[in-house]
Amino acid sequence: MCGIVGYIGNRDAYDILIKGLHRLEYRGYDSAGVAIIDPDNRLNIYKSRGKVDDLENFCQSKNVSGSTGIAHTRWATHGEPNDINAHPHYSASGKIALVHNGTIENYNVLKEALQLQGCVFKSETDTEVLVQLIEYIKTSNRCTLVDAVREALKEVIGAYAIAVVDTDNPDTIIGARKSSPLVVGIGDGETFLASDATPIIDYTDKVVYLNDDEIAIINRNQDLKIITVDNVPTTIDIHTLRLSVSQLEKGGYPHFMLKEIFEQPRTIHDCIRGRIGNSGSKVTLSGVLENREHFQNAHRIIIVACGTSWHAALIGKRLIQEIARIPVEVEYASEFRYSNPILTPNDTVIAISQSGETADTLAAIQMAKKCGAFVYGVCNVVGSSIARATDSGTYIHVGPEIGVASTKAFTGQVTVLTMLALAMGQLRGTVKDEEAAKITDALRSLPKLIRQTLKLNDEIEKLSGIYTYVHNFLYLGRGYNYPSALEGALKLKEISYIHAEGYPAAEMKHGPIALIDHELPTVVIAPNDELHEKIISNIQQVKARGGSVIAVVTKGDKTIAEIADHTLEIPEVPESISPVIVSIPLQLLAYHIAVKKGCNVDMPRNLAKSVTVE
C-alpha cells in the first residue's frame, strides 16, 4: 500500500530515493519523505504532505548530501495525512529513522509503556512507536542496532515492512518484513531496498525477496546478511528480474491506464503462450500437471480473492463448474478468514491476486494451509508473497500494472482461469474434445479480437461526453457477464468517482428498477448468447421507464440497436470467453468519463494498488 525505498553505496542517495518514490507512486499515497545520513553523520529528514513533486520542491534548498538513506510514500492508516505523520519517523535522540509499511496492531500498549519511561511522541502514528521502541531497547540494553530491531519486532503484533538507519551505524540499513513485501537489490558496490522491484530495475536485475520474520543487514562494506528475528542465519536466494524500464513508462500514452488497456492484445498473447499450442485442444499448465492428484480428487474448490480479482473469481467459478464439474465457492478473502470456514485436505483453495501481496488473501492462504487444504495461486508478480506461500500456481504474465484500476490483470486472470478449467476438465475427463477445441481456438484468437474491439476507442470517447456529469450508473449482465457488470461498475467508480452498481439483469426487478429514470443511465452487457432474449426484455423494461441504455452487443445485433440509445459492437466469441472481450469497452468507457471529469485516472483518490494492510 505504501512505498519504501532504501539505498547505500557510493552515489548520492537522494536522487536514487526520489526516483524510486516516483516509481512507487502507482501504489497510492498521500505524503512522502526521505531520511539521509550526510557525510558528517548527521541525519537529515525531510517530509511533506502531497505528492513526491511537493517533497522535491521542499528539498530544493536543503542539505540532501549523503550516500545512505531511506524514503517513503505513505497512505494514511493511523493519523491524518500531514507533514508530522508522514514518514520517516525518528527517535527521541534524532539518531534513528524508520519507514514502515503495514499496521502495528498493539501500538497503543507499546506506546503507553514507552510513555511511562518518559518517551514523548510527536505524531499520531503507530510507526513512531516502533522507532522509539528500537531506540529504547538499544539504549537500555546497550546492544547493537540489529539486536534492538530484533527485540523490538518480537514485541510487535501486526504487519510490517521496515527500513531503519542510525547515525551510530552510518554504513548500515536494516530491513525487515512480516506480511508486507520487501525486496533487496544487489548492485555493483551498492545495495537497494524497496517494497517491490520497480525502483530497483534501473540499477540492477539481481534481487532477494525477504520472507516473513526475516531481517536484512545491508552494510556498505560487507556482503548482504539475512537472519531471522530469532537470530538464525538464512540462505540468500538471488533472483533475476524479468522486468524492463520501458514497462514502467507510459510509452507515449497520456496515462498508464490507457497504455495498459491497449497492451491487452500482447499481454493475453503472453498469458497463453506455451500453454496452448498453435492447434489442437490440449492445455498445458505445469502447476496442474505436477499436482494432478489434487485436481483429480478435489471434492470442492474454494476461490478467495478481493476486488477485481473477486470478479474474475466469479467467472472462474462458472468456468470450472461447467468444464471440470467440480463444486466451486467464491469468497471474499477478507470475510473468509474470519468466517471459521470448514476446510479439509480434500479441498483445493485457489487464491487470486494481481500483486501477490494482498494481506487478506495471504491470511486466507495461511488459514487454508493450516487446515491441510491444497492451495493454488493465480497472480502476476513473480516472487511475490502469494507466489511463495502457495503450494503451486500459475502466473498471468501480463507485465507490471501501474494504473491503480486493474485492466490487463483482470483479463489475464480470466484467461488463466479459462485455461485452468480446461486443464482440470481434461484431467478429469469431463470436457469433450470438440468443446475444448472450440474454447482453445477462441483463446488463440483473443489477441486479434481484442485489437478489433479496441477500435471502439474513438466512438467511446465521444460517447463518454454525454455521461460525464451523471451521478449514478447501473450495470446489468447475465450468466458469465454478471461479473463483467460488477467489474464495469467498479472501474467507473474507482476512477471517475461516479456511484455505480453492478447487478444480475434478472435481479433488476427486485429493487434497482425503482431507481430508473431519465437521470440514471444503464449499461447492459448483451452479447449473443443463450440468455440474449432474456436481456432484451430487461432493456425494454429500462426504456419503458425513461432510462437511457448503453448496450454492449455482438456485431450485427440489429434487435438491440433498435431499442438501446447507444450500442457498442464487439466480435462474436464463445460465451465462456466473452467476459474478456466485454471488459474492453467497459474499461474504455470508465477511462474516458474520468478523463473528461479531470480525474487522476492512474492514482485515484483514497485508493492503493496493493492492499497490504487490513
Active centre residues (catalytic): 2, 609
Is residue 428 classed as helix, strand or coil in its secondary structure? Answer: helix
Q: Are 161 and 214 in contact (CB under 8 A)?
A: no
Query: How many CB atoms sit inside 10 A of residue 448's CB?
Result: 13
In this structure, what DSSP letter does residue 246 have?
A: G
- CA 396/CA 223 separation, integer angstroms: 34
Element (H, E) at 135: helix 126-141
Q: Are 448 and 439 in contact (CB under 8 A)?
A: no
In this structure, what DSSP letter does residue 352 have?
A: E
Residue 300 phi/psi, 5° resolution? -160, 150
Peptide bond into 88 cis (omega under 30): yes
Burial of 441 (0-12, 13-18, 19+ CB in 10 A): middle
Residues 6+ positions from 146 with CB-CB distance below 8 Å: 174, 215, 217, 227
User: Which of 317, 314, 358, 364 is closest to 339 using CA atoms?
Assistant: 364
The CA–CA distances, whole Å, from 584 to 260, 264, 478, 521 equal: 11, 9, 17, 19
Nine-digit cell string for 421: 478449467
Let me know how long the chain is: 614
Q: What is the DSSP string of 3-71?
A: EEEEEESSS-HHHHHHHHHHHTGGG--SEEEEEEE-TTS-EEEEEEES-HHHHHHHHTTS----SEEEE
User: Which of 314, 384, 372, 321 is closest to 348 using CA atoms?
Assistant: 372
Residues 6+ positions from 575 with CB-CB distance below 8 Å: 479, 480, 527, 529, 530
Nine-digit cell string for 5: 525505498
User: Which of 479, 489, 559, 497 is closest to 522 using CA atoms?
Assistant: 489
CA dihedral 310, 311, 313, 315 (to 10 degrees): 170
Q: Are 439 and 464 in contact (CB under 8 A)?
A: no
Residue 571 phi/psi, 5° resolution? -65, 155
Which residue do the cell numbers 511475490 mark? 384
